Structure 1
Amino acid sequence: MITVVLFVGTVFVLILGWKTSQLIRAPHDAPLRAVTLCLASAAASFGLALSPAAKVIRSVGGAGAPRLVQNVFAFCMVFWLMCFYLYSATDPQRGRIRARWEALPLGLAILGTTLATIAAAGHDTGGDYGSVDMRVSAIAVFYLLADLYLVYALVMALRWTLRYVRASHRPLSVGLWLIASALGGIAAASAIRAALTLVRWHGGTAAPAVTKISGHLIAVAILLFLIGVGYPAVHARLSVMRLRRHRRSMYHRMHPLWSLLHEAYPQDALHRNRINPRGLLRWPRGVDRHYYRRAIECRDGLVRISPYLRQEELTGSSRSEPSADLLADRLCAALEAQAEGREAPYVAVAVAIPQEQGLDADVRQLVMLSDALDRRTSPTAQQEQRRKHYGSRRD
């Protein structure tokens, strides 16, 4: 049980910290503010229900105070969740008006549970839902008000969530389905507790198993809610990590082409004081920056050397290894011709242009050419060139 509590608490802290950092950067974003306050209220409700916090609150406010404080934050959690949908689905003005109207049942629920807690002060032992004496009318009214408001707010939020699910795509839709399952679970558990409260208030008994099931359902639903809120962000972060790992690989694969062109045109370097390439591994955001620079520098170098290349061989893209190998041979010959001071016979044109649009498609062409250069300068390729050279001399 302690492990589960620590895990849920850690997830709360991580997600709340992430949303808080986003809110600091965009303080006027109403939907983001509503989500952040929803998570903050949920975290407070969860944390204040733990034994150490409950003891402190009980010592200050009496036996029923921990229950009241925990439920007030639970009310705020579902209220801010509703506000998120109101702010997102309508224009800001209408969203604020609807949120003010929804604050009315929230205020009534808080006022009613507070008065019920005060009225039950002489009879409340501070027990949990399963052990408290529901024959005390004030305690029964407290739980009825709390559960009925939660059912109302959760059903409203669930309706909005399902509407958003139908209009969303992955990974957002997966997160919304998890949130919808959580909201449905908590609403069902609250409805069950409201029915059990009525039975116990009128002197009946409820099976302990049913009470435990409702409690476990709420615990699982809270975890599902947190996972649903965090899933799109985690998925996006993993996608970014995969993209950066791919770009890091492409960056290194462009090195043979870049080094050859950089040696010929060192003045085209976009950053003269280049950092150690190992810094790419330490600073993930630097991957994109160096990836863009290397691609641009390679393109600039190819445009500069293109007047020395045969123009009829540059009309298409080098999507296959043989064409890339041929272009690599022509490129090396062109660099030698330029180094010898020969006059360029052609005008500058683009080299190895991809059919697709975008930088990544462009980089794939550069990498194919760079791989061809790497094969050309590999020991096996050099041995093959020497064998052809000496064989021609014997002929």
Structure 2
Amino acid sequence: MGFFAVFFFTLVLAMAWKAYQRMLTPGSVPLRWLTRCLACAAAAYPLGVNGREVIDAAFTVGTAKVVQDVLVLGMTYTLLVFCLYSAADDGTAGRRVRRETVGFVGAAAVVVTAAFTAPDNSVLHSSFEDADMAAPHALAFYGTLGLYMLHTLTAAGVRTYRYARMSSGAAAAGLWTLTAGLAGMVLATGVRTGFLLVRAGGATVPHWMTTVSADLLVLSTPVFVLGVLWPGMCAGWAAWRLRVHHWRVYRRLEPLWRLLSSAYPDTVLPTLGRRGAFRYARRVIECRDGLIRIGPHLGTTSAVEAMAPGELALRLRQAIDDVHRGTVDPSRTEPLRITKYTGDEAEGVQHLVAVSQALQALPAGPR
């Protein structure tokens, strides 16, 4: 039960995250359908574990089973639509999606009708393992489920396999994982559909074979979901690491920023937001502006890269002290030479950090 709870919690978080991304990019059609796919999965999953009692208590016993099966059909349908929109333009994909929508509505209608019109509610009160597949309603119910899932999962799996072969990095890892999950679901669904036809003909299938196919279907579902989530998880991890890096640089630049802004408060940009990326960029810009302003008073014509961070830190503090005392020569306007880091943003920022840390290491002096 612990695994199922963790998996369900992951599904809900993934659906919420995709819904948030959809709010940020409302024009993304593939993202819209992927969000719907995860919503169907998140809604269907608890009904297969221990959430049936609530719905069955409010309606007829077996209603939760039908709702779950329709949601599973919706999950496979929305997954296929996501693949279609991801591979083609909206116009081309739209025609295929309309055909798939008709198929989904038809399959769902057959499933619901067969379940609620069966004599003595036999479909509602049975499961795949013990249903009488020779009965027309049971055959229509389980046969429609199996064939429709086999169609959508196979079509989505073929497209995912093609994308995986053309991809690299985190996207490829996610697509290959998704392909593996879909392959397991297709295999399990195909085997169970074959069992259905065998049982409809009057033969029997060993119970252990039915159990193995059901376990394969259950185990393939988390793999499928992991494949859907993997690229987003990798992107989120990379974004989190970048935010942490920006926060650390922001904090480490504080000694340099405080020194420069004390002499040139007009270099401090207005506060327009509290986002980490904005604060990081603003601090870097303010430190560079302050260096340019103080450059003519450093008493050297050397480029920044020619001075060790410790030497530059010492010259900066002396120059800032002169600015505070009003002893600087206003006629000096030679800018500080910065040549090496103009094309390498990361290296330039690291040099600023080194200077800032060198400032912090200097012994306190009179002001």
TM interval, shorter chain, is 0.7 to 0.9
1:118 Cα deviation (Å)? 4.4
> Which structure 2 residues correspond to residues 218-233 of structure 1 after superposition, within 5 A?
218-233=217-232
**3-state SS of the aligned residue for 2:286?**
helix
Where does residue 214 of structure 2 map in the other structure? 215
Which residue type is aligned with residue 305 of structure 2?
A: S
Q: CA RMSD in A?
A: 2.7
Structure 1 gap ranges (5+): 275-282, 383-395
Structure 2 gap ranges (5+): none
Alignment partner for residue 296 of structure 2, among 287, 307, 312?
A: 307
Where does residue 390 of structure 1 map in the other structure? none
> Which structure 2 residues correspond to residues 86-235 of structure 1 after superposition, within 5 A?
86-118=84-116, 120-122=118-120, 123-124=122-123, 126-235=125-234
Describe the superposition over 1:68-114 as per-residue Cα deviations: whole angstroms up to 9, x where unpaired.
Answer: 33222211111111111221221111221110012232233223333
Describe the superposition over 1:325-371 as per-residue Cα deviations: whole angstroms up to 9, x where unpaired.
Answer: 23233333433444352425743324445436354333212112222
Whether the aligned pair in 1 keeps the contact of 2:301 and 2:336 (CA below 8 Å) is no
Cα gap change, 1:4 to 1:128, in 2 (>3 Å): farther
Whether the aligned pair in 2 keeps the contact of 1:302 and 1:351 (CA below 8 Å) is no
> Which structure 2 residues correspond to residues 220-299 of structure 1 after superposition, within 5 A?
220-271=219-270, 286-299=275-288
1:343 aligns with 2:329: yes
1:329 aligns with 2:314: yes
Which residue type is aligned with residue 312 of structure 2?
A: L
Describe the superposition over 1:299-327 as per-residue Cα deviations: whole angstroms up to 9, x where unpaired.
Answer: 1111111112345312x525xxx622232
Where does residue 386 of structure 1 map in the other structure? none
Cα gap change, 1:121 to 1:156, in 2 (>3 Å): same
Where does residue 73 of structure 1 map in the other structure? 71
Whether the aligned pair in 2 keeps the contact of 1:62 and 1:121 (CA below 8 Å) is no
1:50 Cα deviation (Å)? 4.0
Which residue type is aligned with residue 78 of structure 2?
A: W
**3-state SS of the aligned residue for 2:46?**
helix
Which residue type is aligned with residue 200 of structure 2?
A: W
Provide the rounded CA distance (Å) in 2 between the counterparts of 1:259 and 1:179: 50
Describe the superposition over 1:247-289 as per-residue Cα deviations: whole angstroms up to 9, x where unpaired.
Answer: 22222222222222122223322248x9xxxxxxxx9x64333
Whether the aligned pair in 1 keeps the contact of 2:43 and 2:71 (CA below 8 Å) is yes
Q: Pick the structure with greater CA Rg.
A: 1
Provide the rounded CA distance (Å) in 1 between the counterparts of 2:117 and 2:166: 47
**3-state SS of the aligned residue for 2:250?**
helix
Which residue type is aligned with residue 194 of structure 1?
A: T
Whether the aligned pair in 1 keeps the contact of 2:302 and 2:337 (CA below 8 Å) is no
Describe the superposition over 1:165-206 as per-residue Cα deviations: whole angstroms up to 9, x where unpaired.
Answer: 223232222222221111111111100101111122222221
Cα gap change, 1:253 to 1:23, in 2 (>3 Å): closer
Which residue type is aligned with residue 354 of structure 2?
A: M
Counting aligned pairs with the same residue, the percent is 30
Which residue type is aligned with residue 362 of structure 2?
A: R
> What TM-score, normalized to structure 1?
0.82
